[in-house]
Structure 1
Amino acid sequence: MPLLSQNKRIERVNSTAELFSRFPHLKDGAQQFVSRTAEPVDPKHLLYIQQREFAVTTPADNSVSILGSDDATTCHLVVLRHTGSGVTCLAHCDGSSTWTEVPLIINAVTSSSSSSTVKDGRLELHLVGGFDDDRRISHSLSLNILAAFHKQKEEIHLETCCITDMNDVIKEGIHRPVVYGIGVNVKTGHVFPASFTCRGPAEELRSARTFSGGEMVEVYDSARELVKIDPCRWTPNEDMAFWLTQDDETILQYLSTSPYAEPPHFVHHIKSTIQFLLEHPTADALFPDDQPQFYSRMEDGRWKRV
């Protein structure tokens, strides 16, 4: 089935400019979206999604009210929601494997929705991320994500499309994203620009998995309301210590897809991830008996390992 907007089929496009030219209401919606101030999200209600992760939950979840993610420069943040069941997914896609990631996202929502007593409704899609970067990484990812959703058998309605050229601003002569992060209220389906002070639980472990080449994974068991981190693998690499001695500019140039557009904490995040990998040359001891790590929401709102 096709990707739709206002019940009109979205054919394959060769550029995001062509998409917004054909569907000016999407352009208007993107302009409204970037004009909004990022809302700070209370960590007590948040499940934070890191790069190459996704999570799915329902309005009945007592532990999570907001799914959120940020630090998206060339990356895209994808929200898919079934309007009948309220089942909601948020994914942080970096282009590493778009054509396999999109079916994972759709299956996660449709399988959870099929078990719901509410059958009526439709799948609604919200895309936010990217900017007009010099290497056009954002542009390619935008087109690939749209094409991947277009190829699925399900009928999907594109509601928000704040991507690439519509999420771009020039500051001091440098292109940057306007919106770096979003949240989605799983009770209402409201999608909004967002900022976060907490990116856990197990922030460094999850970052290490992605930094070491891990593929897209689901990080939440909504039936048990537990964050679930499956066993992952990496090999010892003492050469990484080299990066801890480098200045910020060098790290940005070599370890970022968009060195002039990264948020201020990017270098610290990279160094803390590398330090974690050096302190844990393999992940074996982090997953005793090859079992996942689980985290439960405590009464004070923190995630605690269980």
Structure 2
Amino acid sequence: MGSVIVAHGLRNTEGRTLEGRRVKPRGSPLPSLPWALPTATASHCSSLSLWALGHADFSSCSNGATCLTHCDGSDTKAEVPLIMNAIKSFSDHTRCGRLEAHLVGGFNDDRQLSQKLTHQLLSEFDRQEDDIHLVTLCVTELNDREENESHFPVIYGIAVNVKTAEIYRASFQDRGPEEELRAARALTGGPMISIYDAKTEQLRIGPYSWTPFPHVDFWLQQEDKQILENLSTSPLAEPPHFVEHIRSTLAFLKKHPSPADTLFPGNKALLYKKNEDGLWEKISSPGS
């Protein structure tokens, strides 16, 4: 068994530095990640949850393989090995370099769910066979601000420059292709998967299947307050677009109760690739 090696001198410094940086509005260099979807890539490629960022260090003999994941605690024991395998599939860290981890997110919520998730993630990283250097820890109390006796996260989203390893606060105007489809899969309980192939530089979405969402008509008829209070673990801390996002996802689930029939004809994945303007463009499905 390996161990998590904490860079004690960086534990608060890196987190506070990250908190103090301004939020950078971004397009969508890779798809934004609603809930638990990992995106793994290497540097040569052109709310209540935590962001787990793992990468092989950017030494002269490492390609800076990077995996950015949105973890919500649904299956941490299975998710951490997926993160590690994604990193190691791109980088021979045994020959040179080291494996590094950055944990960002959560806050001092009333139900202490952020603390529980932080403990789960640290425990699972510690159980891995490899030595993992924890470089940034900006979680729970370290990512908390108080306003009118209520607690909120300081950082709601992050991004990473895979060429330089810079991590920064970010907001996304464009959340990438098939946002409603990806969100619908997550809302119905789909496990963590990777949708980006760094070798082909393509997004591969689906094919997915799910069972009809229970009581979808009931939820669509509810007022915003009811949706916020019943479908969020931390209603006061959600970003402004939360209810709108949930409504659009529920409407999508109602429209597509059996996605295999309507969204993935021939049981083929949806493929996207960046065009010359840096925008995602749909390309033909495999085998078509």
- TM-score range with shorter-chain normalisation? over 0.9
Q: Name the aligned partner's letter for residue 240 of structure 1.
A: V
- Give the counterpart of 2:206 among 199, 209, 230: 230
Rounded to whole Å, the distance in 2 between the matches of 1:210 and 1:46 is: 18
1:244 is displaced (CA, Å) by 1.7
Structure 1: gaps of 5 or more residues: 7-22, 63-72
Partner of 2:247: 271
The Cα RMSD (Å) is 1.6
CA contact (8 A) 1:113 1:119 kept: no
Classify the secondary structure of the residue corresponding to 1:228.
Answer: strand
The runs of 4+ residues in structure 1 deviating greater than 4 Å are none
- Give the counterpart of 1:87 among 65, 69, 74: 65
Which aligned pairs between 1:92-171 and structure 2 lie closer than 5 A? 92-114=70-92, 119-171=95-147
Which aligned pairs between 1:254-293 and structure 2 lie closer than 5 A? 254-284=230-260, 285-293=262-270
1:233 is displaced (CA, Å) by 1.2
Rounded to whole Å, the distance in 1 between the matches of 2:259 and 2:25 is: 33
TM-score, L = length of structure 2: 0.92
CA contact (8 A) 2:10 2:136 kept: no
Classify the secondary structure of the residue corresponding to 1:53.
Answer: coil
Matched, 1:304 2:281: yes
Matched, 1:214 2:190: yes
Partner of 2:180: 204
Rounded to whole Å, the distance in 1 between the matches of 2:10 and 2:86 is: 29
CA contact (8 A) 2:18 2:167 kept: no
Taking every aligned residue pair, what percent have the same amino acid on both sides? Answer: 43
1:24 is displaced (CA, Å) by 6.1
Classify the secondary structure of the residue corresponding to 1:135.
Answer: coil
Structure 2: gaps of 5 or more residues: 284-288
Q: Name the aligned partner's letter for residue 5 of structure 2.
A: L
CA contact (8 A) 2:107 2:143 kept: yes
Rounded to whole Å, the distance in 2 between the matches of 1:250 and 1:257 is: 13
Greater mean alpha carbon deviation, residues 195-204 or residues 32-41: 32-41
Q: How many residues align?
A: 277
CA contact (8 A) 2:11 2:136 kept: yes
Which aligned pairs between 1:36-115 and structure 2 lie closer than 5 A? 36-43=21-28, 45-62=29-46, 73-83=47-57, 84-114=62-92
Deviation string, structure 1 residues 220-239 (Cα, Å, up to 9, x no partner): 01111101112211123472
1:292 is displaced (CA, Å) by 1.5
